[in-house]
Amino acid sequence: MNPLKYVDSQMPQLLSDLQKLIRQPSISAKNEGIEECAKLVKQLLTKTGIKSEILRLKGAAPVVYGEIISKSNPSKTLLFYNHYDVQPVEPFNLWDDHPFSGKIKGNKIFGRGSSDDKGELITRIQAVSAYVKTTGDVPCNIKFLIEGEEETGSAHIENYLKKYRRKFSCDGVIWEFGYVDSKNRPVVGLGMKGLLFVELSIIESIRDAHSSLAVLIKNPAWRLINALNTLRDTNGRILIKDWYKDVKPLSKDELRIISKEPFDEQSFKKEFGVSSFIGNIHGINAKKALVGSGTCNIAGLVSGYTEEGAKTVLPSKALAKIDFRLVPNMDPKKQVLRLKRHLNSKGFSDIDVKVYHGEAAARTNPSDPFVTIVKQAADESYGKSILNISNAGTGPMASFVSVLNTPCVSIGSTYMFSRIHSPNEFARIDLLKKTTKCMCLVMDKMGNLT
């Protein structure tokens, strides 16, 4: 039996292993089940015949490392980067079933992590298993780096990469996920945007007061709202001085790829229940924004009484959580300084800025040979694939590029409307199968590289 047919025969095992992973909570934001899940992942790797160990750094979630050396071509190495941690499940009441049920309904398996990222991880493990069980070998060296802090910003991944640089050395990285669009076309992603996550807050008085005192005591919510209004215009352009100064323009090749990339605006709008995009952009401008535009997004805004009913209160403090998406050449540390200078220059020096984390953006050159083999594998497994210059989301790709000096490409099973980070997250079983086969093909083509 060849590896691809073996994948077909082993889908029940893939789903069983995925259910085990889903049923083990691993919420990094709450440090819930992280250690237990790391041990479970190590067990799954070992069961497949992959030599595995748990790596540790003080104060960091453990990284699960796996390695299997090729007998036929030990000169080429493929690294699978994934994560075993998941997002919090709240609000509970919006889940149809228990968030960690792993329940299968038709072509879908539900639960937190079913798609992001435990479903993706299982496809990589099963692909290696398919080769080991059918040939007794793998086409190239295979390594796994599976972290437990991706959902909280991968704060320690660069330190792990630097400490274990030789252990993680490779010729190419398959990223932890990959989207499949509304027409079942896989998206081969060559980059990730960066991120700067901050908290802006102001305290006006020592305690909440009766709202009748608003004639005398300043309301910190109004103060914060006024500050937020200076950060960007109604079309989303960020108004902070020099915010775009270091941005690397899209190249002619990148613009050409963007122009060819399909984007179903109507399906996208229908899925999210919106009638138009910000600034009324559409067509090529919408696609360019997803790939190459920064954002200033209010992720949370809290002040005063927010429960049901009325309470006439004058709040003592106000808080906003802001995430900025960054594009190549934007340095998160520089952007923080620009934000603080902006607030001071606009008269808001009383607003405190707390930085949670920052990640730079990264892109892989479309002409890299690794891109070619991944796209060929995707075309063979799913049908015609789509080349995408950069994902609109964020991951620690810049750390991999800078420390390991290797190309990173994302390809995977995540249906674009699979509700990741939301209630009723699911993975499509048909896409899990196609992705597992795609990983087999990537390994095979990697082994044929000279």
Report which DSSP code applies to 379: H
**H or E segment and range at residue 14:** helix 11-22
SS3 321: strand
Q: Give me the torsion for CA of 35, 38, 39, 40, rounded to 10°.
A: 120
Domain 193-359 - what CATH class?
A: alpha beta
Burial environment of residue 376 by CB neighbours within 10 A (0 to 12, 13 to 18, 19 or more): middle
In this structure, what are the phi and psi dihedrals at residue 447, rounded to the nearest 5 degrees? -70, -20
Per-residue pLDDT of the chain (450 residues; tens, 9 = 90+): 899 999 999 999 999 999 999 999 999 999 999 999 999 999 999 999 999 999 999 999 999 999 999 999 999 999 999 999 999 999 999 999 999 999 999 999 999 999 999 999 999 999 999 999 999 999 999 999 999 999 998 999 999 999 999 999 999 999 999 999 988 999 999 999 999 999 999 999 999 999 999 999 999 999 999 999 999 999 999 999 999 999 999 999 899 999 998 888 998 899 889 999 999 999 999 999 999 999 999 999 999 999 999 999 999 999 999 999 999 999 999 999 999 999 999 999 999 999 998 999 999 999 999 999 999 999 999 998 999 999 988 899 999 999 999 999 999 999 999 999 999 999 999 999 999 999 999 999 999 987
Q: Tell whether pTM > 0.85.
A: yes
Q: How far apart are CA 378 and CA 76, in angstroms?
A: 20
Beta strands 172-174 and 77-83 are parallel
Instruction: Label each residue of 255-278 as H, E or C.
Output: HHHHHHCCCCHHHHHHHHCCCCCH
The ranges assigned to domains in the chain are: 3-190+364-447, 193-359
Q: Is the dihedral of CA 282, 285, 286, 287 positive or negative?
A: positive
Residue among 395, 422, 421 nearest 408 (CA): 395
Closest CA to 110 of 443, 431, 427, 380: 427
Specify the CATH class of 3-190+364-447 in words. alpha beta
Contact 400, 175 (CB under 8 A): no
Are 131 and 443 contacting, i.e. CB atoms less than 8 angstroms apart?
yes
Residues in contact with 65: Cβ distance below 8 Å, sequence separation at least 6, in sequence order: 52, 53, 54, 55, 143, 144, 145, 146, 164, 167, 168
